[in-house]
Structure 1
Amino acid sequence: MAGKIISFLFLILILGNFQAQGKAEKAIEAFSEQYPQEKIHLVFNKNSFIAGENLWFKSFVFNGYELSKISTSLFVELYDSHKTQISKKILPLINGQGSGNFLLPDNVKEGVYYIRAYTTWMANFNEDFQALRPIVIYNPSSPEKLVIDDTSKWTASVFPESGTFIDGINTKFAVRLHSKGIEPSDWNGYVIDTEKPDVKLASFKGFDQNVGSFSLTPVIGKKYQLIVTDTKGNTQTVDLPDVSDSGVNLQVSSGNDAVKFFLKSKNIAPGTLFKVIGTINNQLVFKVNSDRILTQSYSIPTAQLINGILQLTVFDAQENIVAQRLCFVQPELLKIKKPELKSLTLNESARALNSFSIAQNPDNSAYTVLIMDGKSESSEDDNSLLSTLWLTGDITSKIVTPSQYFKPNHNSEALDALLISEKWKRFDWKTIMAGTFPIISYKSQPYISYKGKVSIQGKPAPNTDMNLLFSMPDQGIKIHQVKTDANGFFSLRGLIFEDAIKFSYQLNDPKIPKEQVQVIFQPDYSFVPLKKSLPENPYSLVLRNLEDEPDSEIQRYAITKNTQSTINEKATLIKEVLLKGIKRNKTQELNDKLSGPLFRGANETVFDLVNDNNSAQGSINILQWLQGRVAGLTLASDMGNYIPKLRGSTMNIYLDEMKIDPSMVSSVSAADIAMVKVIKDYFAGGSGGGSGAIAIYTKRGGITGSVSDSTVPTKLKQITLNGFDKEISFVSPMYNDENFKNISQDVRSTLYWNPYLKTEPKESPEIQFFNNDDAKNYKVILMGFDEKDYAPVYYNETVK
C-alpha cells in the first residue's frame, strides 16, 4: 500500500564505505511499504456556528503527500466538551475526498465542540494523527456564554538544534511557547550565565505566538538560563540543558536548491564512522555512511523532492541515534498550483449577481469552492489545506495558526525554528529497528461492506447459492446471486448507496421452504471509540447576564438561521443552470433506470448513448470507442479480442449486469447499446473486485437478470441495510428569481459552498453567486489537488 510518490522521491546518495543495508534502512523500508500513513484536512463552510444551523464540511484524505487510495469511507463524529458524542456520520471517499454536514440541534448549549474524522486504517495507529478540530457553537439562549481565556499563564521551553548542546559549538536554539489560553504575540527573551546574571549573552524577539530562536556558544561547566518576557510584564526563567564535553551537533540549512548539513563534534576521534539517513513521509530519500563525515558538508538536491518535512537522523557505528533534526524542503519555493480566475464579474451592490470561471486544469478532477463575505472568518484562516498537508497532518503538538507558515508572506525562519522544537512521531527508530511494528486490528473495507450468514433450521448452510432480489422502479426485480463459503458465510463488499436499501432473498434450491431459511447481516465496518482526552481550548464559560447582548457576528448568525428556512423553501434552479443540467439529469435518470444497486460505483464514468455520444453508433466494437475517453483505460489484443485494462489490471465486462467474455463484445451492435459505464473501483456486483469493470447496457437493459413478477419480494423475507449518511444540499438564494424578492434581510457570511465542483476536460468551471445586503468584497477559496505533479491546488484571496 505504499504511495506512488516513492517513485520520484527516491534519490539515495551513497557515499563512503557503505555496502549493505543496516537495521535502520531495512526497518524504514518495511515500515514504509506495510504501514502507509493517512492524514485528513477538514474545511468548514464557516469558522463558527449557532445552534440550529447546518454545519457543512469537506474532507481531503492524504497518504503522505498524495490523495489517498487506501480508504474509501470516512468516519466523522461530533463531540461536546465533555466528550459526549452528539452525532456521527459515515461518508464515501471519492479519490480521497468526501463531504457531509451536521444539523446542530436547536437546544445545544453554547460551547466548544469537536469534530473528529478518521478512516478505519488510521484507527490502527496513534489517535493523535486523527483529525480533531474544535468548533465554536453559540446559543444566545444558553445559560452560559463563551469568553476568551486571556488570563492563563504561558510557559516556555528550549530546544537545541539536533538535541545536543556541546562545549565550544555554536548552537541554534528554538524557544517554544505553550498556554491553555492565548499565547502572547509580542514577546522576547535573552540568555544569561547564572554567574553573571546582568550580562545578556544572546537576545531575540519571538517570531510569532509559537516560536523564537537564538544562538549560543557554550562553555563547559557554565550554567545558562533563558529569561522570557511578554509586553504585559509576565516573565519566566528556563534552564538551558547542561553543556556536554563531547558529542555531535547536526546543523542544517534548507534552501531552494538543496538541504545542506554538516556535523560539528567535540572529543570525537577522527575517522569515527557515522551514518546519516534522511526520510520524507517515512520513506528513505538520502543516506551517507562514512568515516570522513565529520570533515565535510553535504547537500541533498531538492530538484527531485517535494515540499514536506525532511527528517535527518545521525547514527553511530552501532546504529545508536546521536542526533536528529526536522527541516522543511524548499520553504521559499512552495509548489502550489494556483487556479486562475477568468471572466471575473463582481458587483458589491446588495444582492447583486457575481460570477467567474476557473481556467482549465486537466490534472485536477474537482474543486472545493467556498465564497464568503470578505469580512468573515474561514476555517482556512487558522489551519489551511497547505498547513495540514505539510505540517499539522504529521505534527501532533498545538500550533497557533499553522496556516501562517505557508502564506505568500510567510516567515521561513520561524517555520525552521518550529521544526527544531519538534520530533517525528509517526514512528520510533528504536522500536522499528527492534522489529516491533504496529498491530493491524482494523482492516479497510471497500465503501459499505456487510458480512452475512445463511442458516437452514438453525444450522449453517455451506456452499449454498442464494438470490438477492432488489425491487427497482420501472425495471421490475433485479437479481444478484451470492454463494456461501464452507461455514455458511458470504459478503457484500463495495456497496455505494445513501440512507437504506431493502431487498428480499431466497435460496436457489426450491426444495427448502423459505420458512426454514434465516439470513443475518452485520456491518463489516465500525466506528472506533475515542480513547484520548479532548484537547484544551482558549475559551471558558461564564454565566450569561440577562442584559448581555450577543455581539454583531452572533446576531448575524441568528438572522441568517431565521431566514435560511425561507431560502430553502424558495430555492429553485435558475434557468441557466437548468439548461446546463438537462443533459446530466437525463443521463442520471438513465443510469438510475438501467443499473441495479450493486452496480453503482463512487468512481464511475457513464456514457449515455441514448441522449448523447452519437459518435459511438458507428463503432464496430464499443471497447475501441471507449479507448482514449477514460483515463487509465487501455486495450490489449488477445487472439483478435480486445481485453480492457485499467492501470495494467484486467477489467471484467458485464452485459446487462451479467458477466461476459470479451469475445462477445463484438457481437453487440453499438446501435443496440443504451449506456456504457466504466467503474474504476470496488462495487458489490463485481464481488468487490478492485480492478473495476465495464458494464454495457442494451436498449433492452433490465430484461436480462430480472423477473417480471413484481409480487415476488412481498412473498419473501425482507432485509434492510443502512448505507452512507446523506448530505443535505447547501442552498443559496437566487435573486434573479421573483420567489426570493420578499426575503427581508440577508446577512449570510457564506455566499457559496460547493464541496465537489467537478471539472470537464474541455470546459472551464463557472461559478455564480449572489451578494448579501452589505458585503463590499469577497473571500474566494478554491481547493483541489494536481495528481500529476503531486501538488495542492489552492487559491485563498479577498477580491473586490
Structure 2
Amino acid sequence: MIIRRFLLLLCLLPAFGASVFAQQDSIPLTTIIEKTSKFSASYPIEKVYLHTDKPYYAVGDTIWFKAYVTIEKHQPSALSRIVYVDLINNRDSVVESQRIAVTNGFASGNIVLNGDTYKQGAYRLRSYTNWMRNFDPDYFYDRTFNVGNAIDNQVRTNISYKSSSKRTGVKVDATIMYKGPDNSPYANKKVSWQLMKNGDPVSKGRGTTDDKGVLQVDIPESQADVITGGILVTAIDVGDRKTISSSFSMRTAVKGYDVQFFPEGGQLTNGIRTKIAFKAIASSGLGVDIKGTIVDDKGAEVAQINSAHLGMGIFAITPDIERSYKANITFPDGSQATYNLPRVQSMGINIAVYNNDPTNLTVKISANDLFFQRKQNKSFYLVAQSGGVIYYAAQTVLQSTVYSANIPKSKFPTGIVQVTLFSSGGYALCERIVFIQHNDQMNIALKTDKPSYSTRGNVKITVSAKNNTTPVEGSFSVAVVDDGTVPSNEDAESTILSNMLLTSDLKGYIEKPNYYFNKPDEEKLNNLDILMLTQGYRRFDYEDILADKNPPIYLMPEQGIDVIGTLRTNAGLPVAKGSIRLLIPDKNFSAETITDMSGNFKFSNVNVPDTSKITLSARNNPNGRNMVISVNGEAYQKLSKNNNIAEEILNIDSTFRPYLQNSYKQYQSSRTIKEVVVKATKIVKKASHTDYGTFAGLPMMADHEISTQQLDGCPLLINCLSTMAMGLTYIDNNFYITRDYNSGSRTPVQIYVGSLPVDANFLSSMAASEVESVEIFLNDGVSGINRNTQTKGVMVINKKVVKKQKITLAQLQELIPKQNVITFAVQGYTKAKEFYSPKYDVTKAGTLGGDLRNTIYWKPNVITDKATGTATINFFNSDQRGSYRAIIEGIDAEGNIGRSVIHYNVK
C-alpha cells in the first residue's frame, strides 16, 4: 500500500479585521481528509509518458520510444511491470499493439512503419498499464501524429474546402490539386470520387482536372454531421491503365466556430463580481482569436472581450439577477455570432483565486446577501489537493460576505492544485483549479565537446543532472535530430513536462501544451491560469469519495504475464489437485503447477516472447484423457474518443515537404546499393470464400477485406478485428453491422473460419499470423446463410494455405484437437531493437548516395552517475549540414523530472 501524507491546517486567517477561520466542527473536515487519503492509498494514480525520437514520421521510418511509468509525485512506479503501446489509425483500427516489460518504471521499444501496413495519414500512439484500464481512458497517454509517404506516393495532393449553409443542410465545394513526384501537375486527368461514411457511400461523382491539375468537387447538399464524419476518396487515372487513390478527412470541411464561457467557481451569482474565461475554437478544433462585447438584455455594454492566447481570454462582470447577458462575437473572417452567457443564480457563494503572487495563492470567498442571510454562522471548509494528496485544509464560520486567505505556494508541489469549498455536510459548493509553477524541475545540462562539427564528425555530449545543486542519479532518453529535415514547433510538442504536469491530469484537448513550459514568463503564466479556468478536471470526484462510491476494480496491476484457467472433467466437474503442464516450444521452456480445490490453476510471470504459442497439457493426470482445460481470455482495451483529433494534418504532402523530400532521397539512396535477385515464383491462388461450397451464393467481391499485411504486428486476431473490421461493431462478444446496430438491431454477424461456423469467442485463440485474409459481407447475397442461422452479414476468415505433404497416421492423430491439450496464442513481450548508429573512421561522404539520416542518434537508457550526476554519449553526424537538435528527458528516483534542448552546427 502506498503511504500518503496529508497536512491538516486549522488556521486563523485575517479578513477585514475578523478571525474567519476557527477550529470548529472539525469532524466533517477530518472526514473529508481521511476519506480522500484512504481513497488515494487504495486507488493510486499511475501515469505513462512516451518520449519519441521525432514529432512526425514517414512510411518506412521506425518510431523509437521510451516509456516512463510513474506513480505518486512522479516517482518511477513499482506497481506495474507491463506497459501497453497501441498504434491506431484514423479509422479507429488498432494497427499494432505491443506488450512491453517495465523495469524500475522504465521501458523502451520501437515500431516499424512498414509500407505494407501503414499508409499516409494521422495515427494515434496510445499507452497505458493494466491498472490504468480500471479508470477513465481520457487519462491514458494518447498522442496524435502524422505519417507521410514519400516512397510510393506518385500523386501529391493539396485540398481546400468551402462550405455554405443551405435550407436543408450544408453544401461543400472541394478544390483538389494533383501533382506528380516531380511537382508537375496531373493535367486533364479523369478522377472519380466518393464521399464515404462508416464504409458506405453517401454521394459520388466524376470530374477532370484542369491544366494546373486542379479538380473541383461539388458535394451535394447534406446534413453537416454526415459530411464532417465522412472521408472523401478520389481515384485519378494517371495513364497506362493505372489509377491511384487518395483519401481526405472531411472533419474540417464545414466551416464553423464555437465559443464557450466558464465562470470562475462554476456559476454566475447575483451581486458577486466574477471572472469569466472563454474559449473560441474553429471546426478544426484549434483556437481562434476573437473580439466582442458583453451586453445585457437592455443592450447596455458591460464588458469588452479580446482573446489573449489561442482563442482563450478572460473578462469580469458583476451579474444582476434582473438581467440576462450575451456575447456579441466577431471572428477572424469578419463573421459574427451571438452567444448567451450562463444564467444568473439568485443565491450562492463563490470562490476566486489569484495566482499572480510568486509566493502566495490568494483565495477570495464571496457570498451574496441572500446566501449570507440564510447561511450565517454555518461552517464551511476549504480544501486544496494535488495528485490525490491534501496539502491544505481549513474551516470557517460564515460571519461576513467576503473572506480572503493567503495560502503559501510552498505547501504545494509543482502541478495542478484543486481548490474546493465545501459545506459543513461535505457538499462541494464551488471549485477552481490552478497551476503552481515553482520552476523546480531537475536541472539537466547538455554540453558538446566542440563549438561545431563536420559531417560524419564524432560528437561527444556530456550530460549533467542536478536537483538544485545536488547531483542526481536518473534515467534519461536522448534523441538527436537534423533540424533542417525535421523542423518542429517546440511549443506544440508533447514533452515530459507538459504531459506529466499538465495534460495527464486534464480532460480534453490542450493546444500547444509545451508553450507553457518553454521559457515561461509572466505572460505565459497568465495564459496558463486562463487555461485552468477553461479545462475540465475530474480525477477526483469528492461527491463519490465522500459517499464511499469507489470505482469498480476489474483489472489488477501486472507484475508479469499470467496464464490462468480451469481444469474440469468431461462432465463439467472441477478437478482438484490436478496436474497442468505448460510448454513454450519457441523458448524450449516448461513448467508445472497443481490446481486448487475448485480446479483453478495459475502460472505467474511467464516470460512469453512476442507471437509465441503456449501449450497446456493435462495428460499426466490419472484418467487425463477425460479432462478439459479452459483458459481465461485476455481483455483488450476498447477505443475511446480521440481528444487530440485537432492534431490531424489535412495536407501532409505540403506541410511536411522538407521531411518527405529527405525521406525520398534516403529511399533512393538505399535502392542504389541493394542487391537485385530475380527468382521465378509460382503463382499461388489466394485463399478466399470461393474455395468453399458453403458460400455458394455469396457475392464474388466482399464489401471489405483485411489482408495478412494489415494484420502484421497484431498478436491476437480478435484484438485487431474488433477495430479493423470496417462496417462492423464489436460489442458483448459479437460482431454487428454498424448501421443496423446504431438503428437498434442486435442480430449478430455469422462468422466462419474457412467453412467452419464459429462464434466470436473462438477467435480469441487464433493468432493473426495464421490468417491470410478476412472477408466481410454486409449481406449474404442469395446464399441463405443469414436466413438459416438467424444472423445478418457474414465474416469469412481465410487461414493461410499450408503446403500439402504426406503424413503418417500418428501425425494425423496429433492433428485431431484434444480437450486435455490446448495450444493458443498469447500477446507476449515485444523486444526492442537497438538503434543503429554508424561509426565513421573518416569524415568524407560516401560515394554511393549519402548518410541522410534525420534521427541522428537515439538512446533510451542514459543513466547518470550517482556521485557526479553525469553521463557521456558519443555518436557520429550524418552528411547533412546545418543545425542539429539534441533533446534529453528523464526522471530521478525521487520523481524529479526534467528536459533540456540544445542546438549545434554541422558545417
Quick check: TM above 0.5? Answer: yes
- Which among 476, 480, 486 is matched to residue 371 of structure 1? 480
How far is the alpha carbon of 1:746 from its aligned partner?
A: 3.3
> 201-210 or 463-472: which moved more?
463-472
How far is the alpha carbon of 1:792 from its aligned partner?
A: 0.7
1:47-74 Cα shifts (integer Å, max 9, x gaps): 2222232222222223253233222211
1: CA distance between counterparts of 2:428 and 2:619?
Answer: 64
2: CA distance between counterparts of 1:325 and 1:497?
Answer: 47
- Which among 134, 144, 147 is matched to residue 246 of structure 2? 144
Alignment of 1:256 with 2:358, yes or no, is yes
2: CA distance between counterparts of 1:159 and 1:718?
Answer: 58
> 176-185 or 413-422: which moved more?
176-185
Corresponding residue for residue 108 of structure 2: 99
Q: Do the aligned residues in 1 keep the contact of 2:254 with 2:283 (CA within 8 Å)?
A: no
How far is the alpha carbon of 1:519 from its aligned partner?
A: 8.9
How far is the alpha carbon of 1:92 from its aligned partner?
A: 1.4
Distance 1:394 1:365, change over 3 A: same
- Which among 874, 880, 891 is matched to residue 768 of structure 1? 874
Corresponding residue for residue 405 of structure 2: 298
Amino acid aligned to 2:832: E
Q: Secondary structure at the match of 2:660?
A: helix
Alignment of 1:431 with 2:538, yes or no, is no
Q: Do the aligned residues in 1 keep the contact of 2:472 with 2:866 (CA within 8 Å)?
A: no
1: CA distance between counterparts of 2:655 and 2:499?
Answer: 36
Alignment of 1:111 with 2:121, yes or no, is yes
For residues 623-638 of structure 1, the aligned pairs below 5 Å read: none
Distance 1:250 1:76, change over 3 A: same
2: CA distance between counterparts of 1:549 and 1:228?
Answer: 31
Distance 1:469 1:84, change over 3 A: closer
How far is the alpha carbon of 1:356 from its aligned partner?
A: 0.8
Corresponding residue for residue 779 of structure 1: 885
Distance 1:109 1:13, change over 3 A: same
How far is the alpha carbon of 1:310 from its aligned partner?
A: 1.0
Amino acid aligned to 2:500: L
- Which among 720, 724, 727 is matched to residue 832 of structure 2? 727
- Which among 384, 396, 400 is matched to residue 495 of structure 2? 384
- Which among 736, 744, 757 is matched to residue 862 of structure 2? 757
2: CA distance between counterparts of 1:379 and 1:451?
Answer: 48
Corresponding residue for residue 17 of structure 1: 24
Amino acid aligned to 2:73: Y
Q: Do the aligned residues in 2 keep the contact of 1:78 with 1:113 (CA within 8 Å)?
A: yes
Amino acid aligned to 1:407: N
Distance 1:262 1:460, change over 3 A: same
Amino acid aligned to 1:773: D
Distance 1:257 1:491, change over 3 A: same
Corresponding residue for residue 181 of structure 1: 284
How far is the alpha carbon of 1:136 from its aligned partner?
A: 0.9
> 771-780 or 372-381: which moved more?
372-381
2: CA distance between counterparts of 1:519 and 1:467?
Answer: 13
Corresponding residue for residue 257 of structure 2: 154
Distance 1:105 1:405, change over 3 A: same
Corresponding residue for residue 123 of structure 1: 133
Amino acid aligned to 1:20: I
Alignment of 1:310 with 2:417, yes or no, is yes
For residues 334-413 of structure 1, the aligned pairs below 5 Å read: 334-342=439-447, 344-345=449-450, 347-359=452-464, 363-375=472-484, 376-377=486-487, 381-410=492-521, 411-413=524-526
Identity %: 23
2: CA distance between counterparts of 1:483 and 1:79?
Answer: 40
Q: Secondary structure at the match of 1:419?
A: helix
For residues 615-764 of structure 1, the aligned pairs below 5 Å read: 723-736=828-841, 741-761=846-866, 764=870
How far is the alpha carbon of 1:161 from its aligned partner?
A: 1.0
2: CA distance between counterparts of 1:796 and 1:205?
Answer: 34
Corresponding residue for residue 711 of structure 1: none
For residues 484-503 of structure 1, the aligned pairs below 5 Å read: 484-496=595-607, 498-499=609-610
Distance 1:84 1:472, change over 3 A: closer
1: CA distance between counterparts of 2:384 and 2:311?
Answer: 26
2: CA distance between counterparts of 1:19 and 1:215?
Answer: 35
Distance 1:451 1:192, change over 3 A: same
Distance 1:501 1:718, change over 3 A: farther
Alignment of 1:170 with 2:273, yes or no, is yes
2: CA distance between counterparts of 1:493 and 1:31?
Answer: 28
Distance 1:134 1:467, change over 3 A: closer
Corresponding residue for residue 234 of structure 2: none
- Which among 23, 31, 37 is matched to residue 39 of structure 2? 31
Q: Do the aligned residues in 2 keep the contact of 1:279 with 1:285 (CA within 8 Å)?
A: yes
Q: Which runs of 5+ in 2 are unaligned?
A: 12-21, 155-243, 676-819
How far is the alpha carbon of 1:782 from its aligned partner?
A: 0.9
Corresponding residue for residue 693 of structure 1: none
Distance 1:203 1:86, change over 3 A: same
Corresponding residue for residue 552 of structure 1: 658
2: CA distance between counterparts of 1:126 and 1:536?
Answer: 18
How far is the alpha carbon of 1:799 from its aligned partner?
A: 4.1
Q: Do the aligned residues in 1 keep the contact of 2:82 with 2:129 (CA within 8 Å)?
A: yes
2: CA distance between counterparts of 1:434 and 1:521?
Answer: 40
CA RMSD of aligned residues (A): 3.8
Alignment of 1:536 with 2:645, yes or no, is yes
1:704-729 Cα shifts (integer Å, max 9, x gaps): xxxxxxxxxxxx99978663012232
- Which among 61, 68, 73 is matched to residue 65 of structure 1? 73
Corresponding residue for residue 212 of structure 1: 313
1: CA distance between counterparts of 2:881 and 2:10?
Answer: 55
How far is the alpha carbon of 1:770 from its aligned partner?
A: 2.4
> 227-236 or 441-450: which moved more?
227-236
Structure 2 length as normaliser, TM-score? 0.63
How far is the alpha carbon of 1:157 from its aligned partner?
A: 1.1
> 305-314 or 363-372: which moved more?
363-372
For residues 262-277 of structure 1, the aligned pairs below 5 Å read: 262-267=364-369, 268-269=372-373, 270-277=376-383
Corresponding residue for residue 577 of structure 2: 463
1: CA distance between counterparts of 2:569 and 2:451?
Answer: 68
How far is the alpha carbon of 1:401 from its aligned partner?
A: 0.7
> 461-470 or 108-117: which moved more?
461-470
Q: Do the aligned residues in 1 keep the contact of 2:280 with 2:290 (CA within 8 Å)?
A: no
Alignment of 1:90 with 2:99, yes or no, is yes
2: CA distance between counterparts of 1:504 and 1:217?
Answer: 72
Amino acid aligned to 1:10: L
How far is the alpha carbon of 1:367 from its aligned partner?
A: 0.7
How far is the alpha carbon of 1:336 from its aligned partner?
A: 0.9
Distance 1:524 1:18, change over 3 A: farther
How far is the alpha carbon of 1:505 from its aligned partner?
A: 8.7
1:390-444 Cα shifts (integer Å, max 9, x gaps): 1110111111111111222351111111111233212333333333221111222
1: CA distance between counterparts of 2:97 and 2:111?
Answer: 8
1: CA distance between counterparts of 2:630 and 2:248?
Answer: 45
Q: Do the aligned residues in 2 keep the contact of 1:152 with 1:182 (CA within 8 Å)?
A: no
Q: Do the aligned residues in 1 keep the contact of 2:464 with 2:864 (CA within 8 Å)?
A: no
2: CA distance between counterparts of 1:226 and 1:61?
Answer: 44
Q: Do the aligned residues in 2 keep the contact of 1:62 with 1:96 (CA within 8 Å)?
A: yes
- Which among 40, 54, 60 is matched to residue 52 of structure 1? 60
Q: How many residues align?
A: 638
1:579-629 Cα shifts (integer Å, max 9, x gaps): xxxxxxxxxxxxxxxxxxxxxxxxxxxxxxxxxxxxxxxxxxxxxxxxxxx
How far is the alpha carbon of 1:81 from its aligned partner?
A: 1.5
Q: Do the aligned residues in 1 keep the contact of 2:619 with 2:821 (CA within 8 Å)?
A: no
1: CA distance between counterparts of 2:253 and 2:580?
Answer: 65
Q: Secondary structure at the match of 1:277?
A: strand
> 383-392 or 428-437: which moved more?
428-437
